[in-house]
């Protein structure tokens, strides 16, 4: 199995994803694709665990409803056999108020028969939740006043 080919498959998936082409993303996945993102689903209900193309489609459609613009930068990309790891910097512009949420994301892809079979995301959810809620949670948790911006 070509590591370079798998690397290109993941890059192609990322390009489709951040261009808003959900069906293009799904075409690059197995029918039983599994998505795992350890995140507080009370705040980020579209994350968590999703299985199959229908659930993945619903998740990305929810993201597109919340954010009007998404872009990514690939910081690192490493392929080994049928596994690919990526460190991404993401920029999502909220539909509600035009604010940009910026965060880093580590994603681990597993490929099977040339398609993405598993997507496992690791996010600094504390930082992400602060940005999504537009609140300084550190000051709330520590009873300290928020730092001036």
Average pLDDT over residues 87-95: 92
pLDDT tens-digit profile of 112-133?
A: 999 999 999 988 765 666 656 6
For the chain, percent of residues with pLDDT exceeding 90 = 60
Res 42: pLDDT: 73
Res 117: pLDDT: 98
Alpha carbons 11 and 48: distance in angstroms, whole number? 23
pLDDT tens-digit profile of 14-48?
A: 999 999 999 999 999 999 999 999 877 777 777 78
Pairing of strands 67-80, 83-94: antiparallel
Res 38: pLDDT: 81
Residues contacting residue 29 through CB under 8 Å, at least 6 positions apart = 13, 53, 56, 115, 116, 117
pLDDT of 63 higher than 60: yes
Average pLDDT over residues 95-105: 89
For the chain, percent of residues with pLDDT exceeding 70 = 82
* Residue position matching structure tokens 């954010």: 67
pLDDT of 67 higher than 80: yes
For residues 112 and 30, the answer to whether their CB atoms sit within 8 Å is yes
Res 80: pLDDT: 96
Query: Is the pTM above the cut of 0.75?
Result: yes
For residues 77 and 59, the answer to whether their CB atoms sit within 8 Å is no
């Amino acid at each position: 199995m070509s590591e370079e080919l798998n690397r290109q498959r993941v890059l192609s998936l990322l390009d489709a994803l951040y261009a808003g082409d959900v069906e293009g993303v799904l075409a690059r996945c197995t029918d039983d694709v599994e998505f795992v993102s350890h995140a507080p689903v009370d705040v980020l209900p579209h994350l968590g665990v999703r299985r199959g193309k229908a659930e993945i489609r619903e998740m990305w459609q929810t993201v597109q409803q919340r954010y009007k613009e998404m872009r990514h930068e690939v910081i690192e990309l490493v392929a080994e056999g049928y596994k690919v790891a990526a460190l991404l910097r993401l920029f999502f512009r909220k539909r509600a108020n035009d604010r940009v949420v910026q965060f880093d994301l580590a994603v681990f892809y597993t490929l099977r028969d040339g398609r993405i079979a598993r997507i496992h995301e690791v996010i600094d959810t504390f930082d992400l939740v602060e940005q999504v809620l537009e609140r300084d949670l550190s000051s709330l948790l520590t009873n300290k006043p928020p730092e001036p911006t």
